[in-house]
Structure 1
Amino acid sequence: MPTGLVALLDDVAAIAKVAATSLDDISVAAARAGTKSAGVVIDDAAVTPQYVTGFEPARELPMIWKIAKGSIKNKLVFLLPAAVLLGQFAPFLIPIILIFGGLFLCYEAAEKVLEWLHIDETTKHEAPAIVEGPGREDEMVSGAIRTDFILSAEIMAIALSEITDEIWWQQGIILALIGVVITVGVYGVVALIVKMDDVGLHLAIENEGIVAAFGRGLVAFMPKLLITISVIGTLAMAWVGGGLLVHNIAAVGWHGPEHLIQAMIIALVSQVPQAIASTLYSILFAILSGLFGVAIGAVIAPLVHKIIPHGEEVTG
């Protein structure tokens, strides 16, 4: 075999190995970055079903499909290029953006906690205003897509903060992968949620005995499922939002909250076996960061209510 061809095959093999390694690195980085977005993703899944409430069952899935397409457009057409440019030319802005993102998540989480405690019942964002008239469906879909844009921006910013060491094209692939996977996952779950009660109703009406009982149980279970998702989403938002604040406030030069939380945790874990100390440290850091986030959000909420009058409904 000619030497030149051997060298070419060696080069191709080397390139293939690099490509395989890069793909493996990308998948690992995408999983790591996507995990950090959990709080926003859960909140997205909890909020979206409300935008198709009150419509004919036959229109629910088409509406969700429209919202999902709008979500993909938000992430890949608008936010992805902006995120890659930000990562390449202004990475120093990422901590500042994440601080504002953390404040938003902490505000959202604190509002729900304050409502649960009956301290503040002026929440606007949980139930979008139902639009009436011939353009009702288009208005509700547009409102859902606007809400998705805010949540998608949070997801992309959080993901970007985890992959700043990657080169620009890898960042683009990772963010695109996260955007597509999260969108498919969220709106697939949303579609399942909004149709489960229809399935249960059909089983209850068209069948008897155990099948009918299962259908009635499914219908009764749906409100509880939505409440559970909302609670989990709130806790996740507090954890993610508080963590964003603590870490990124430290990144811009103020280490006070981070050092205080670390000191409290060290005092607590110093007496436990070394084998579980690291895991316990991570759990306690998440809990204390979440509590810090809720406290900050509770301070922000009254200020927001002064800016947005209590009687004003916000759609999207």
Structure 2
Amino acid sequence: MSGLLALLDDVAAIAKVASASIDDIASQALKAGSKAAGAVIDDAAVTPKYVHGFQAARELPIVWKIARASMFNKIVILLPIAMLLSTFAPWLIPYFLLLGGLYLCFEGAEKVYHWLVPHDDLSVIDPETTPLDATHLEEQRVKGAIKTDFILSAEIMTIILANIDAGSEWWFEAMVLGFAGLLITAAVYGAVALIVKADDVGLAMATNGRLGATRAAGRAIVKGMPGFMKALTIVGTAAMIWVGGNIVVHAVGEIVWHAPYDLIHDIAVGAAAMVPAAAGFVEWLVTAVLDGIVGLILGFILIPLVGLVPSKDKSAH
């Protein structure tokens, strides 16, 4: 009997340790995943355009195809690469972060450039004017979305890896990466599914609602979705530029030059000291604004270097 009680005590102790480990993994995943906010918001803002122009019945299946590929990208491809990088070449992580941060700066600045200098987007396929069957068009859209998701997923996983507590065991890092990757994928594509179906739900409420309040709410949803999508795009772009600048400043500080980080930190701390009642918020806000300015400048510098902005002559054709 005493042996059984001892065994039960051991099982309880193991369960307690396992429970604590799960809590640690979840908290680390949430903490590290929050650092990837810019890429996550951009992912949610970009994806809905890939279902534009299709029948309502095909919207959720398309979102599911992209979400399934996103999970495969993160767990099967990127997670092992991240673990190999962390184990055998951790010194490379700041360089990958630097590349990811510069990419975010470029993407955000390019969107700002397109707003300032509007031109035709030749990459967008119009299903009504392009002589492609619906199945072929869907395949092209899904492939394009998966390619974009892979780039954003690589950034997200690298950012998460860099923000896991130093000295963690490899299995712990793998669990945090996997949990955070799945959590972010579910959050992003769950939000995308809600976004792409919101106008259909609003239309159904406006048409079939029994109560006047229900019909009014449905009309408000239908009318409000275009503005919501614009706001989401603006927030996503701002987050890309801010997070991109922040990543670049930190990565450059780790690699070779700490002065930009120190300057931004000193300015933010000085501004926070002037408003003691909201010191934490002011320090965060000033840091975000300065990081955003750095990100926007870098992004505009990268636009002509990358050569992806069409000239006026090309846009005219």
Q: Structure 1-normalised TM-score? A: 0.88
Matches of 1:230 and 1:167, distance apart in 2: 38
The percentage of aligned residue pairs carrying the same residue is: 49
Q: Secondary structure of the equivalent of 1:254?
A: coil
* Structure 1 unmatched ranges of 5 or more: none
Q: Distance in 2 between matches of 1:93 and 1:56?
A: 45
Q: Is the 8 A contact 1:111 1:123 kept in 2?
A: no
Tell me, yes or no, if the aligned pair for 1:51 and 1:128 is still in contact at 8 Å: no
Partners in 1 of 2:32 and 2:120 — Cα distance? 30
> Aligned runs of 1:177-216 on 2, under 5 Å?
177-206=179-208, 209-216=212-219
Task: Quote the residue 1:61 is aligned against.
Answer: 60
Give the number of equivalent residue pairs: 306
- CA gap of 1:278–1:309, structure 2 versus 1, over 3 A, is closer
State the distance in 2 between where 1:189 and 1:108 align.
22
Q: From the superposition, tell whether residues 265 and 210 of structure 1 become closer, same or farther in structure 2 (CA, over 3 Å).
A: closer
Is residue 129 of structure 1 aligned with residue 125 of structure 2? Answer: yes
Partners of 2:137 and 2:156 lie apart in 1 by 28
Relative to structure 1, is the Cα distance of residues 122 and 89 closer, same or farther in structure 2, using a 3 angstrom cutoff? farther
When residues 46 and 128 of structure 1 are mapped into structure 2, their CA distance, relative to the original with a 3 A threshold, is farther
Match of 1:294 among 286, 293, 296: 296
Aligned to 2:97: 98
CA RMSD of aligned residues (A): 2.4
CA distance in 1, matches of 2:202, 2:278: 44
Kept in 1, the 8 Å contact 2:268–2:284? The answer is no
1:50/1:128 contact within 8 Å kept = no
Q: Residue 130 of structure 1: CA displacement?
A: 4.3
The answer to whether structure 1 residue 219 and structure 2 residue 215 are counterparts is no
- AA of the residue aligned to 2:139: D
The alpha carbon displacement at 1:215 in A equals 2.5
3-state SS in 1 of match to 2:53: coil
Distance (Å, rounded) in 2 between the aligned partners of 1:218 and 1:270: 43
The 2-side partners of 1:308 and 1:115 are apart by 9
Q: What's the CA shift for 1:257?
A: 1.0
What is the TM-score normalised by the length of structure 2?
0.88
- Going from structure 1 to structure 2, the CA distance change for 1:17 and 1:161 (only over 3 Å counts) comes to same
What residue in structure 1 maps to residue 142 of structure 2? Answer: 141
- What does 1:1-316 align with in structure 2 at a 5 Å threshold? 1-2=1-2, 8-116=7-115, 118=116, 120-121=117-118, 128-130=124-126, 132=130, 133-134=132-133, 135-163=136-164, 164-206=166-208, 209-273=212-276, 276-305=278-307, 309-310=310-311, 311=314
State the alpha-carbon separation in 2 of the partners of residues 215 and 309 from structure 1. Answer: 40
Gaps in structure 2 of 5+ consecutive residues: none
